[in-house]
Structure formats: C-alpha cells, structure tokens
Amino acid sequence: MQSQARKNDIRRDALIRRDAIPADVRASSSLAICRAVSEDDLFLDSNGIHVYLPIGSEVDIRPLIELAWEMGKEVGMMRVMEDGGIAQYSITPSTRYNVTKLGIMEPQDAEPFDMDICDLVIVPVVAADEYCNRLGYGKGYYDQFLAHHPRPTLGVAFEEQMVSELPVDDLDIQLDGIYTERRFVEA
C-alpha cells in the first residue's frame, strides 16, 4: 500500500510538471522525440507498430504515426472495453474515432489489429525512471497488454517526467527504452 501511495504522489507531481510545459515547447519537444524514434532501428525495421493517440499534455506522436503509414507499416492501438478489458484495433488515415468519457480517442468500426505483425509498441508515460520503469495513469492497461503481448517497447516522455527511481511491483512491465526530447534511456 505504501508503494501505491508513493506512485500516486509521483504520478500527481509528474502530471503537474508535464502540464506546466508551455504548449509551444511541448510541440517542439514532441517533434524532437518523434524524430529520434523515427531513426531508431526498432521503428525502421518494424512491419507493424502499436501506438496511442495523445490526450491532454502527452507527447504528441501523430507525426510518427503518419510516417509509419507513409512507410507502409501497419498501425494499431488499444481500445478499452466497457467491461474493463482491452482490444487492439488497426488504424489508418481514414479511421474515425469516438471520444470516451475519459477523453480518450478510440477507433470506431475498425478491424482487429494483428499482433503477429507488431514489432514495436510505443507507450505514453506519466513518469519514468533511469531504469526504464514506467508509471502510467494507474489502471494497468499497458502492463496487462504488454504481459500478454511482449514486444520491444519504447516509452516517450518529456524530460520533466523523468525521475531517478520509481517504486515497482511484480505487475509493472519494464520498457526497453525511453525517448525524451534530450536523450535515450536504455534498459
């Protein structure tokens, strides 16, 4: 329980720092992160990538998604179901989205994403540490997903979201690397 309280404190503080980044700085930093990921062999060599669509002040990876489509890659994303389960759906430039009550964009009328072609997962980060441990929003969707579909996984975060060390438990999945606008942290 003490670990969960500490995670909640870190999450709150990281979100405050991320939200305080001016919009123009977030935009230029997001582009720098997308550029760095686009030059990574994991991205270049992938046939399919699993992504997220940014909400709020998250790193905007939409330019990376567009590049993936231009390169002929299959692109998929998670959808949280009414019962709390998750499903993976393919997205294309013509995909239409619904906005959930949590403000998350989810594909509508999309085909299931074939995880057999997925070579790379790009995940959002609320906070991360120097050991590639990731803290999300606290619902465990990505940890559940990555436990069932282990793949090379890159987190994307602004430098303000990085901390020296996060508390981790048995359910937390370590990332292979994290890109910020200034550096790459490798597990």
| Domains along the sequence of the chain with CATH | 2-186 (3.40.50.10420)
| Average pLDDT value for residue range 68-87 | 89
Which of 172, 171, 173, 175 is closest to 187 using CA atoms?
175
Question: Who contacts 146 (Cβ-Cβ below 8 Å, separation ≥6)?
Answer: 121, 123, 153, 173
85 vs 82: CA distance, rounded Å: 7
Given the structure tokens 């910020």, which residue do they identify? 180
Question: Mean of the pLDDT values across residues 116-135?
Answer: 95
Task: Provide mean pLDDT across the span 90-118.
Answer: 88
Better-predicted residue by pLDDT, 170 or 152? 152
- What pTM was computed for the model? 0.92
What's residue 22's pLDDT? 98
Weakest-pLDDT range from 95-109, 147-161, 165-179: 95-109
List strand residue ranges (DSSP E) for the chain, in order. Answer: 48-51, 74-80, 86-90, 96-99, 105-108, 118-124, 127-129, 134-135, 153-156, 162-163, 177-179, 184-186
What are the DSSP E strand ranges found in 12-161? 48-51, 74-80, 86-90, 96-99, 105-108, 118-124, 127-129, 134-135, 153-156
- The pLDDT of residue 70 is 97
Q: What mean pLDDT, rounded, does the chain reach? A: 92
Determine the pLDDT at residue 1.
54
> What does the pLDDT read at residue 174?
93
Please give the pLDDT value at position 141.
84
Q: Is the pLDDT of residue 157 over 60?
A: yes
Mean pLDDT along residues 164-175: 90
